[in-house]
Amino acid sequence: MTGWLDAVIQGILLGGLYALFAAGLSLIFGVMRLVNLAHGDLIVLAAFVILTLATWLGLDPFVAALLAIPIMFVVGFALQHVLLNRTLGRDLLPPLLVTFGLSIIIQNGLLQLFSADSERLRAGSIETASIALGGGIAAGVVPLLTLLSAIAVIVILNLVFYRTPLGRAFRATSDDLEIAQLMGIEVGRIYAVAMGLALVVVTVAALYLGMRANFDPTIGPARLLYAFEAVIIGGLGSFWGTLAGGIVLGLAQTIGARIDPEWQILAGHLAFLVVLVLRPRGLFPRAVD
C-alpha cells in the first residue's frame, strides 16, 4: 500500500515538471493560436543557457536561471518579432513548418556548440535532499520545489492575464484580431511580449529539467510531446487545466511504472488517449471558443 501511495505522491510531483513544460505552450497557443513545435528544443536551449552561465560565472543553477530569464525573454521577443509573426495568418501550415525547422536548427546548433554529451545542472546537496512525509514515504526537495514553482507560475500567469492591462490586451487579441487593432493594440508587439513571457516560463522549466535528470541536445521533442499532452488533457486556454493535465500525466506515468517499469511512458500516453476519448475538449475547456 505504501508503494502505491508513494507512486501517487511522486506522480503529482512529476506532474509539476510537466505543467512547467506545458505552461509556456499553453500561453502561446492561448494568445496567438500558434502551435510551437520548437517548444521542447527551446526548453533544452534554456537549460544550456543556464548551464553556460553557471559554469562560466561559477554560479548556483538557481542564480544562473535568474540571469537566464531576461536573456530568454529577449530571445523570445526577437524570435517572434523577426520570424514567427511573418508566419501567422489564415493558413495554419507556415507556423508549423517554420517551428519544425526551428526545432531542427536548435538541436543541431546545440550539438555543434555543446556536443552530444549528457549534461546536468549541479546544485550540490539540495539535489539529493528529501523531506520525510511519514509512513516510510519521502519527497525530494527538488521535486517539491518543481511543483511549487509550477503552481507559482500558474498563479502569476493568471494574475497577468486577468488583472493587468497587458492580460486584457492578450485576451482581446485572442478573441478578435481585427477589432483588437482598432483598440490601438499593435498585435505583432503583443505576440512578441507573449513569446518572451513563454520563454521566461520555459527557463523555469529548464532549471528543474536540468537538476532532475541528464539532458542533451536531442531530448527536446519528447518534452514537447509531454507538454502537448498536458495542455490537451487540461483543456485549451486554461492555465489551471494545464497544471491538472501535467499532474494527470505524471500520475499515469508513476502508477504505470509501479505496475511494470516498462509501462511508465506507455501509461502516460494511454491516459492521454483515454481523456481524449472521454472528454475530447479536455478536463477544463474554456467556455468561449
State the residues that interact with other proteins by CB under 8 A: 165, 168-169, 171-172, 174-176, 178-187, 286, 288
Name which of 17 and 169 has its Cβ closer to other proteins.
169
CB of 167 to other proteins, least distance (A): 9
CB of 55 to other proteins, least distance (A): 43
Contact 197, 70 (CB under 8 A): no
HSE value, Cβ hemisphere, 13 Å, CA-based, for 284: 15
Contact 252, 36 (CB under 8 A): no
> Which three cell numbers, joined as nine digits, stand for 76?
523570445
- What pairs with residue 134 in β-bridges? 137
Name which of 186 and 260 has its Cβ closer to other proteins.
186
Q: Give the 3-state secondary structure percentages of the chain, helix then strand then coil, rounded to 5.
A: 75, 5, 20
Name which of 117 and 178 has its Cβ closer to other proteins.
178
CB of 192 to other proteins, least distance (A): 14
Name which of 117 and 289 has its Cβ closer to other proteins.
289
Name which of 185 and 225 has its Cβ closer to other proteins.
185
Contact 167, 160 (CB under 8 A): yes
- Residue 287: is it exposed, middle or buried by C-beta count within 10 angstroms (0-12/13-18/19+)? exposed
CB of 174 to other proteins, least distance (A): 7
Residue 155's contacts (CB-CB under 8 Å, 6 or more residues apart) are none
Name which of 93 and 288 has its Cβ closer to other proteins.
288
Please report, for residues 77, 156, 157, 239, 270, the alpha-carbon distance to residue 164 in angstroms, rounded to integers and kept in the order given.
Answer: 19, 11, 10, 16, 38
CB of 239 to other proteins, least distance (A): 13
Residue 167's contacts (CB-CB under 8 Å, 6 or more residues apart) are 159, 160, 161
CB of 154 to other proteins, least distance (A): 18
